[in-house]
Amino acid sequence: MRVARTVAEVRAAVRAARDDGASIGLVPTMGALHDGHLSLIRAARAANDFVVMSLFVNPTQFAPSEDLAAYPRDEERDAHLAAEAGVDLLFAPGVAEVYPPGFATTIHIAGLTDVLDGAARGAGHFDGVATVVTKLFHIVAPDDAYFGQKDAQQVLVIHRLVRDLDMPVRIVACPTVREPDGLAMSSRNVYLDPASRERATALNRALEAAAQTVAQGRVDAASVLAAASTVLSAAGIEPEYLELRSPDDLREVDRVETTALLAVAARVGPARLIDNRILEAAP
C-alpha cells in the first residue's frame, strides 16, 4: 500500500491505475478504523481494481463545542489495518492540503440537512461533510464511493450531492456493523467507560422495540416512538432526537405505511452516538 500526502500524488496514482484499465473505489474515513470501516474497504476491494481510502479528520464538520481535538487519531494503526484489508492507496493529507490558505468555498444542501443531525449539530456540520466529500470526489474521481448506513442522513445528503451536481460516482451504502451486543460500531465508542458502554446498548434495543411494535401491527408514530422511548428511559438516556422519517427525503411521517426510518441520537457518558433502523410494515 502506498501513502499519499498531496492531491498531486493521488491524481498521479489514480491516473496510472486508469491507464491500466482499473476501476477506482473510494472509502472516505476520518480514521480510528473499526470493523465498520473495514467492511466498506472489503466491499470496495470486491468490486474495484484499485481502492483508495482517505484518512482525514475534517475540521469543517465539527462545531466549536464538539470533539475535534479529542477525536481519536492513530495513523500507524489505521494504515496497518487499511493495508491488511486491501487498500492500494492511502490518502492522508494535512489540513492545509485540503483547505489551503484563502479557501472560501462551501457546499450547502438545503432541506435534507435541516433536520436530525443538521438540527442537533448545526447547519455547518453537513456543509463541512458535503464540501470535503466534493473535494475527495474531484481529487480521486472514483467510480464507486462507499459509506456506512449507520450515518443514514449523511448517505442521503451525499446521494443528493451527486445527483444535483451530476457527479459520475456511484454511491454504495453498506449495512451498519454492530458489536455482538448490538451497539453500532463507531470511532466514538472508545470514549465509553464500562458503565456507559452497557447503557449505550439501549439505542439498538430501542430500535428493536420499535421494529417489534411495527411487526405487531401498531404502525402509528406515537406507538413506535413510545416503544423506543420506554427502552431509552429505562437506561437513563434522554435522546437529542428520536424521530420517524421518510427514508427517501427525511420528511416527518405519522405512520409506517411501507417503510420508515427511525433515527436516534443521544449522549451516553462522554460520547454522542447515533443509530437508525429501517422499519417495514407487514404486507
Catalytic residues: 37
Backbone angles phi, psi at 256, to 5 degrees: -95, 95
30 labeled binding residue = yes
275 labeled binding residue = no
151 labeled binding residue = yes
148 labeled binding residue = yes
Nearest-angstrom CA–CA distance, 158 and 150: 14
236 labeled binding residue = no
188 labeled binding residue = yes
135 labeled binding residue = no
Contacts of 182 (CB under 8 A, 6+ apart): 201, 204, 205, 208
216 labeled binding residue = no
185 labeled binding residue = yes
212 labeled binding residue = no
Binding site for ATP, by residue number, is 30-37, 148-151, 177, 185-188
Binding site for (R)-pantoate, by residue number, is 61, 154
Binding site, by residue number, is 30-37, 61, 148-151, 154, 177, 185-188
Binding site for beta-alanine, by residue number, is 61
